[in-house]
Chains A and B, each alone.
Chain A
């Protein structure tokens, strides 16, 4: 038996196993530098305004020193630091540059581009409303996404498997599917009295199209030989659909799920800023209405963390479900 390492060319860049001291001190040094720069340019600011930002850097310096001391006890920590420290350093440097451009030289117009310290303050001051908005967005996103997946899988399997359904279903899919879900918003708000329900339906619609398309093509591209083998093993239509065609289509289905997830983020934010009176999209347009751009940026940061976490979770699910592909294709 050949091991998969022999078969798959390895082009993954391995993180260095040893943690160089240069890498190790980069984070506290960068943080100290950013801290110093901030002290210089924020002299004229009210101390209360920038207090938490300074505290943040103090914490970064403290934690990175503690981790540097702890590293010898844990190889896992060493590997993680060797891998992540350059990224963290770069992030701190970017914060510093942002600070200099906005607060330092006031190159970007206010109030549209507040400095990082003001954004951090908004983040902290408004944390309860932000948390609440995130929660509402999560509920709306998951209900719409879930609904869209269920509908997309059902219609995708039907269209992919049955020729008559493909004949009638494909034209509908091709005509209706490419319309961006957000284009339906004016209609959706009229049809349904509840903005939440109509937004969930719009998100579902946005997800439904790519999931249906990719599921249908995955099902109809099932290798005929797999179906022939299953038939000679005594398989009926149920086995052929659920145990052969659908598993064979799963790699395709996941592509649809990823495309649908991207579409659902977009639709969620637009729907929230137009109709729904809660959620992160609503928060952004509400904060913009008050010209509180610190809050706008705070919400964008939360969105980035929120959406990328969900994306990462979907990747993890895929890795679990498609473990049989490992070594067959390059991940």
Chain B
């Protein structure tokens, strides 16, 4: 197990963030993708962002990661403004995006190599491979991994930098239902072990309820956070408990996806 010791997590503040892109149908006009998004995450919180496709969830994550720049508003990690990508904000995509030319071990240590820290933190590579249960696959190329294993490697690759905030962009979206449920427990285990602040984008409502402290529901065109729901169910959660199901139908109702009954 990796030592939890130091407080690694940081708060994340998103204040009145706006972002527009050139409209694809008319390059002269711009389309407002995010229109005044505000929320904040306390250190160590796990919060989900759910909403239909095209509501700007992924755009928001890219902004927080620093891969794109905002038009207006504030983005803060702790008290520092976000201007560019940084190792303190890890990002895991739906596609694991492991570098196919590197073995699992070299993929996981990529962040250390990039920051010139491999020499002093070499022993952590083994710890993180054990943490995600890939120690026997150290010298295997990503092509030979199953979807779940590849995503675990991608998680370890992001976590080895000890990010203060971990951004997860539908990380389990490409997995089959059973692997997905196993991986949800896996991510929760990593979260509980490391207490990293996590922002999880998903369109699986069950996943959001099962995992998060809080759920933010986004609606598209322009992207806004319409509602925030605190999930007060005790952990570990039962996917079939009455409270779980009640919360689920609440959210479905809100999104107009509930049945007619």
Contact = CB atoms under 8 A, between A and B. Distances in A.
Please indicate which of the listed interface residues A4, A324, A328 has the most CB atoms of chain B within 10 Å of its own CB.
A324
B51 interface: no
B67 A232 contact: yes
Interface string A206-247: 000000000000000001011011111111100100011001
Contacts of A223: 97
A232 B101 contact: no
A229 B114 contact: no
Contacts of B143: 4, 324, 327-328
Contacts of A324: 100-102, 141, 143
B90 A4 contact: no
Given A1-B145, A243-B114, A232 B89 contact: yes
B144 A4 contact: yes
A231 B101 contact: no
A235 B86 CA distance: 8
B197 interface: no
A1 B146 contact: yes
Contacts of A229: 91, 93, 97, 99, 157
Please indicate which of the listed interface residues A1, A230, A233 has the most CB atoms of chain B within 10 Å of its own CB.
A233
Nearest to A329: B143
A151 interface: no
B121 to A, nearest CB: 13
A327 B144 contact: yes
B231 to A, nearest CB: 27
Given A225-B93, A250-B101, A233 B110 contact: yes
A233 B144 contact: no
B101 A233 contact: no
B87 A234 contact: yes
Interface in A1-32: 1-2, 4
Interface of B, secondary structure class, is loop
Given A1-B145, A225-B95, A228-B91, A236 B114 contact: yes
Contacts of A328: 100, 143
A233 B95 contact: no
B100 A233 contact: no
B147 to A, nearest CB: 11
Contacts of A226: 97, 99
Contacts of B219: none
A2 B140 CA distance: 12
Given A232-B67, A232-B85, A243 B113 contact: yes
Interface string A240-262: 00011001101000000000000
B161 interface: yes
Contacts of A230: 110, 114
Contacts of B114: 230, 233-236, 239, 243
A248 B97 contact: no
A228 B146 CA distance: 23
Please indicate which of the listed interface residues A234, A250, A323 has the most CB atoms of chain B within 10 Å of its own CB.
A234
B235 interface: no
B115 interface: yes
B67 A231 contact: yes
Contact of B86 (A234, A239, A243, A247): A234
Contacts of B36: none
Contacts of A326: 141
Interface of B: 62, 65-67, 85-87, 89-91, 93, 95, 97, 99-102, 110-111, 113-115, 140-141, 143-146, 149, 157-158, 161
25 contacts: A1-B149, A2-B144, A4-B144, A225-B97, A228-B62, A228-B85, A228-B93, A229-B157, A232-B65, A232-B66, A232-B89, A232-B158, A233-B114, A234-B86, A234-B111, A234-B115, A236-B114, A239-B114, A243-B110, A243-B113, A250-B101, A324-B100, A324-B141, A324-B143, A327-B143
Given A231-B66, A233-B157, A328-B143, 8 more contacts: A1-B149, A225-B95, A226-B99, A228-B93, A232-B89, A233-B90, A325-B100, A327-B143
Enumerate the 4 nearest inter-chain pairs by beta-carbon distance, A residue then B residue, closest first. A234-B87, A231-B85, A233-B111, A235-B114
